[in-house]
Amino acid sequence: MTTDVVPREHIEITTDGDVLTTYQFGTGVARHHFCNRCGIHTFVETRLIPGHYRINLGCVDQLDALRLPESIYDGKSL
C-alpha cells in the first residue's frame, strides 16, 4: 500500500465488470476494496481523510512494484 494518501481525482479505477467488493468495519468510515475473484486488497478510502486513498501498488498497471524500495511495517512490535 502507498504510504501517502492519493486524492480521488488523481486515480483511475478500472475493473472488468463488478469485481470489486467493499468492506467496512469499526467506525464504518474507511472503505476497504477487494477483488471478489482473487481476494487481493486493492485500495482503501481512508478513515482519517475521506475521499483519499491508499493504493496497493501491485494493482497499478505498468508499475513493477517489486522493483520499488521496500519498507517493512512491523505492527506486531508496536
- Distance, in Å, from the CA atom of 69 to the CA atom of 61, rounded to the nearest integer, reads 18
CATH number at residue 14: 2.170.150.70
pLDDT at 67 over 80: yes
pTM of this prediction?
A: 0.76
Q: Is residue 73 part of a domain?
A: no
Q: What is the pLDDT of residues 34-66, one digit of tens each?
A: 999 999 999 999 989 989 999 999 889 888 988
Q: Is residue 21 part of a domain?
A: yes
Task: Domain of residue 53: give its range.
Answer: 6-68
Instruction: List Cβ neighbours of 39 (8 Å cut-off, separation of 6 or more).
Output: none
Q: Is residue 33 part of a domain?
A: yes
The Cβ of residue 55 has, within 10 Å, a number of other Cβ atoms equal to 20
What is the layout of strands, in order, in the sheet containing 52-55? 6-7, 52-55, 41-45, 31-35, 20-23
